[in-house]
Chains A and B, each alone.
Chain A
Amino acid sequence: GDSVTQMEGPVTLSEEAFLTINCTYTATGYPSLFWYVQYPGEGLQLLLKATKADDKGSNKGFEATYRKETTSFHLEKGSVQVSDSAVYFCALSAPITSGSRLTFGEGTQLTVNP
């Protein structure tokens, strides 16, 4: 079945450091890929998404590129802020089908220190 694997956490960085959170997936066909973020005490929020190979999703300075050849969707940010401290989840859903379930990775706890 479909699965998502994220790099192990937690990740602790200093403010303005470069962030990479690795995500790889296993799926049949061409899934849609997502990054969700969960700030302390809040629900899951969509951070960015990509629906086909070589698409780049971006939001709030975060980026991720859909790499079909390496089945990856790594999250990057050039300069993190304290406010980026949260749990980040990589997820996939079935290709181009509305109402499909999301399959999540384990989540990566990011802490950014001033």
Chain B
Amino acid sequence: EPEVTQTPSHQVTQMGQEVILRCVPISNHLYFYWYRQILGQKVEFLVSFYNNEISEKSEIFDDQFSVERPDGSNFTLKIRSTKLEDSAMYFCASSGVPGQGLLVSSEAFFGQGTRLTVV
């Protein structure tokens, strides 16, 4: 069964350092997302990406964050200068199959997450 894969599973970084979280979405999906979950809190939407551009972003997704689809398979989240409060579990997700139509709410498939610890 196709799945979303994320690497690394756990990353420790020093405050102020740049970090890149990597995701390989399901190959024929059209929409890609990043969510995060701070320990003990809700899963929060960060950004969605479609047709090689950001389609929606939350207020959390400030100038420190960026996303990229550098090739046909990877989808990355970069945090430019990490802060202690960026420590969280980051989930990548993908959805949307060609031909399904834009007016059908489709299932989002999630990766296992990357636990980011900023020290």
Chain A contact residues, CB within 8 Å of chain B: 32, 36, 41-46, 49, 51, 89, 91, 93-107
Is A46's CB under 8 angstroms from B42's CB? no
Distance of A92 from chain B, by nearest CB (Å): 10
Selected from A45, A89, A97, the residue in CB contact (under 8 A) with B105 is A97
Give the distance to chain B from A49, nearest Cβ to Cβ, in Å: 7
Q: Please tell me if the beta carbons of A97 and B33 are within 8 angstroms of each other in the complex.
A: no
Interface residues of B (CB under 8 A from A): 4, 6, 30-31, 33, 35, 41-45, 48, 50, 55-56, 58, 91, 93, 95-96, 100-113
In the bound complex, what is the Cα–Cα distance between A43 and B45 (angstroms)? 15
A99 touches B102 (CB 8 A): yes
Q: B110 contacts which of A45, A101, A106 (Cβ < 8 Å)?
A: A45
CB contact under 8 A between A96 and B45, given known A43-B112, A46-B108: no
User: What 18 additional pairs, Cβ within 8 angstroms, besides A96-B104, A99-B31, A101-B58?
Assistant: A43-B4, A43-B110, A43-B111, A44-B91, A44-B93, A46-B108, A51-B105, A94-B105, A95-B105, A96-B105, A98-B100, A99-B30, A99-B102, A100-B48, A101-B33, A101-B56, A102-B35, A106-B41
CB-CB < 8 A to B56: which residues of A?
100-101
Does A99 contact B110, Cβ atoms closer than 8 Å? Answer: no
Contacts of B42 in A (CB 8 A): 104-107
Complex Cα distance, B33 from A101, in Å, reads 8
Chain A neighbourhood of B106, CB < 8 A: 98
